[in-house]
Amino acid sequence: MKKLLMSLILFSSIFVSKAQTKFASIFNHHMVLQRNTEINIWGTDKPNSTVEVTGSWGAEAKVKTDKKGIWKTKLKTDNAGGPYTLAAKGSEQIILEDILLGEVWICTGQSNMAMSLKGGPGQHIEDSNDLILNSTNKNIRFFTVEKAVSREPLDSCKGSWEVSSPKTVANFSAVGYSFGLRLQKYLNVPVGLISSNVGGTPAQAWTPIETIEAEFPELKKDFIKKENTKTATVLYNGMIHPLIPYTIKGAIWYQGEGNRWNPEQYSRLFPAMIKSWRSNWKQGAFPFYFVQLAPYGNKLEGWVGVQQAQLKTMLTVPNSGMAVINDIGYKTRIHPPKKKEVGQRLALWALAKDYGVEGIAYSGPIYKSMKVKGAKLLVEFSQASLGITSMGKELIDFEISGADGVYHSAKAKITTRGSVLEVWSDKIQNPKNVRYGWKSYIEGSLFNTAGLPASSFTTEDWDTVFKNKN
């Protein structure tokens, strides 16, 4: 029976490549389709022909191709489950096998999202061998988009859907898999993960040309250069555009290192990129959760600036969230090995915000307010319902300034049953502002009682720069 099934699937695969009737490249055997909604389905056939699309869960639609032979339609999906088939019958018939209905997420960014579960040359991923060993799970599927650079938006990409197993998961995104695994285990539904990542890339490479031309004219000089993976728009064109409008639940993102040389620009570019994706996907303000840069290096220029740009994005862009990892950085590696924790912290955002899980913390402490009491600054935080804690560490990496704006190293103490942070310095009698984690590498010492760390922050100009969306 198994040999017969494999033969049928192999035959179907051959048929896909030769058929006149085709699905778009993201549709293939073993894929996951977003449950309980109306999904977008599209493909090609002969111009001005009729295509009937059928999902074996009980959905069907009929559509005509345009003069270029492109067809687009929608299908209603049911509750999570499967396996099902998805068929398109036009000038020929094509059948995709082993389809599941569940939750679909895009996993994208640069090398820290791209890094596979097995690790990289000389760079380990903690717990990777155990995660790989226990990865057999027919309810987790993933698609890795092959790297493609393009001046023009592409309609197809290379890649295939795979079922989670030790052989397949070893080469998939470690952060993406850890995120999906936590969702799948808790929700007990199929999870589909689409990985589209390239190392060493800036956000402008993932941003459509319309946004660059309208809002970032300084980047238009990229268009006269020979393209590479750092060129504006080329990765959006080659690796995101082919996925649109595949129906998704949301996106997770891990990037920022490639923009550290211009944090101010990134503070505008990153939100603009999110807005452009949402606009082009036409799914409204779908969830967009991202990872703040991990501590790394020695006084790297722009590093804290990018962290602040990311904090600002989280506080101002609707339906966004940020996983803070300044307690699990690695001073000598830009790719910190604790990828499982990163994926799990991203999943907390999704579980709390999108799947209605009550009672869990999903964010570390966020600066809320400050007042002066003598020579001390008293700081309070949101996202810390039971207060703040150092988790047994020494409270370090705090600085305060007076009216002159010069910052000095400061001492800190948690008081009032964990609800207030006192900060002071013997060098300043009239303090005005406090900041925390203001260098590229720290070992985070400020948390909420759920063990989630606080972002680096400054109270300077907080009300004008960090306008809270909540």
Residue 469 is predicted with a pLDDT of: 56
In degrees rounded to 5, what are phi and psi of residue 228? -145, -175
Q: Is the pTM of this model over 0.85?
A: yes
Residue 16 is predicted with a pLDDT of: 41
In degrees rounded to 5, what are phi and psi of residue 141? -130, 150
Instruction: Report the percentage of the chain scoring pLDDT > 90.
Output: 93
What would the mean pLDDT of 316-338 be, rounded to a whole number? 97
**pLDDT tens, residue by residue, 238-269:** 999 999 999 999 999 999 999 999 999 999 99
- For residue 294, pLDDT over 80 is answered with yes
How far apart (Å, rounded) are the C-alpha atoms in residues 42 and 47?
14
How far apart (Å, rounded) are the C-alpha atoms in residues 456 and 33?
38
Q: How confident is the model at residue 9 (pLDDT cuts 50, 70, 90)?
A: very low
Residue 464 is predicted with a pLDDT of: 81
Residue 64 is predicted with a pLDDT of: 97
- For residue 124, pLDDT over 80 is answered with yes
Instruction: Please determine, looking at this structure, whether the domain spanning 102-353 carries the CATH number 3.40.50.1110.
Output: yes
**pLDDT tens, residue by residue, 27-83:** 999 999 999 999 999 999 999 999 999 999 999 999 999 999 999 999 999 999 999
CATH of domain 2-99: 2.60.40.10
Residue 445's nearest CA partner among 408, 379, 381, 398 is: 398
Indicate the average pLDDT of the chain: 95
- For residue 19, pLDDT over 50 is answered with no
Residue 2 is predicted with a pLDDT of: 44
- For residue 293, pLDDT over 80 is answered with yes
Pick 79 or 225 by higher pLDDT.
79
Neighbours of 227 (CB within 10 A): 18
Residue 468 is predicted with a pLDDT of: 58
Residue 14 is predicted with a pLDDT of: 40
Beta strands in 242-323 (DSSP E): 250-254, 288-291, 320-323
